[in-house]
Copies of this chain bind each other. A is one copy, B any other.
Amino acid sequence: MTSPVGLHRVIEPSGVLPQAATKLDNDPAVGADEVRIAVERLNLDAASFRQLATKHGGDGDAVRAEVLEIIRTRGKMHNPVTGSGGMLIGTVEAVGPDSPLGLSVGDRVATLVSLTLTPLRVTDGLSRWDGTSEQVPAAGHAILFARSIAAVLPDDLDPELSLAVLDVCGAPALTARVVGRYPDAKVAVIGGAGKSGSLSLAAARRAGAGRTVGIVPVEHEAARLRAVGLADEVALADARDPVALAAAVTGALGGPADVTVVCVDVPGCEHGSILSTADGGTVVFFSMATSFAAAALGAEGLAADVTMLIGNGYTPGHADYAMSLLRADAGVRALFDARLHAEKPE
């Protein structure tokens, strides 16, 4: 008897959901409502990859060894330090008779649930990966549950491009929903030149934002973001410096933001994003480096009446919405194409 949320795959501790488990059962035999994917590529979460690369001082072999060890011991790619995972692409190779996901054997798919809850086995030692990029060629298999989500990759786009967009597709969908609640919203996207940031800027504009600013840490990112015209303003600031960040946002928007979207994967951006936001406004935290306590106590300590959202990676229709932004917005497409060709982590 299988559980739609994968409880039957949890080895330890018992009773928790797969994401909270320290170890999952990655047996390739599929249950009645499961799907098995032949893995082609893992896409590590940016915060996770950054932590590993920093820990090992950029030594790719050491990074690869640690990723292999995590997958071997946990039965999933769940970084124990950052708590984050990533996603994968592959080909459907087995579908249980009761699976509700609508997938067929041979479909090329991206999984839209985190690797932190996806049973995974790697069989090639990640030998085609040099450990210096978050894009990881891999062979092996992964398991989807009844209540998982996967998107069939479009035929007309480079699968790596689709994967890069789908990886962060929760961000633009939730940004659009929040921005739509404020008439002529002033919107700040912290980390506006990155994957989730650029999609969020495009989503904010489409959702009716009155004025947008993309905040970036360095001039070459500012130039890239200005060139594609995704934001009304582009400004430089270190997001970890709360006073500097608030000054940059307020200067660019002519006042604090109604909606601040945090898309940078470094710790310590909570206070600056709160200070950048108007009373009655909303901060949406998408960064996995966000500290719950720093946000909660920071807002209280600043007597800031802001709504703070934990960026839920799932909003109905999120994958289609993000792909539509990629297809319709030349600026988004240009940034993603450039990123893909540079093969640099976000």
Q: Which residues does A use to contact B, with CB under 8 Å?
A: 5, 7, 15-20, 82-85, 112-114, 116-117, 147-149, 170, 240-244, 268, 271, 275, 285, 288, 290-316
A292 pairs with B300, CB closer than 8 A: no
A310 pairs with B308, CB closer than 8 A: yes
Instruction: Give which listed residue, B113, B242, B275, B298, contacts A301 with CB less than 8 A.
Output: B113
B301 pairs with A305, CB closer than 8 A: no
Q: Which residue of B has the minimal Cβ distance to A241?
A: B15
A298 pairs with B19, CB closer than 8 A: yes
Contacts of A314 in B (CB 8 A): 299-300, 302-305
Measured CA separation A82–B244 after assembly (Å): 28
A-B interface, 3 closest residue pairs, ranked by CB to CB distance from nearest: A300-B313, A83-B293, A308-B310
Q: Which residue of B has the minimal Cβ distance to A298?
A: B19
Give 13 A-B contacts (CB < 8 Å), ordered by A residue. A15-B244, A16-B271, A82-B293, A112-B300, A113-B300, A117-B297, A147-B302, A288-B293, A290-B292, A291-B292, A300-B314, A305-B315, A309-B310
A116 pairs with B312, CB closer than 8 A: no
Measured CA separation A170–B303 after assembly (Å): 11
Instruction: Give which listed residue, B148, B296, B312, B315, contacts A312 with CB less than 8 A.
Output: B296
Contacts of A310 in B (CB 8 A): 285, 292, 295-296, 299, 308-310
B147 pairs with A116, CB closer than 8 A: no
Q: Which residue of B has the minimal Cβ distance to A306?
A: B312
A301 pairs with B84, CB closer than 8 A: no
Q: How far is the CB of A170 from chain B (nearest CB, A)?
A: 7
Measured CA separation A296–B82 after assembly (Å): 13
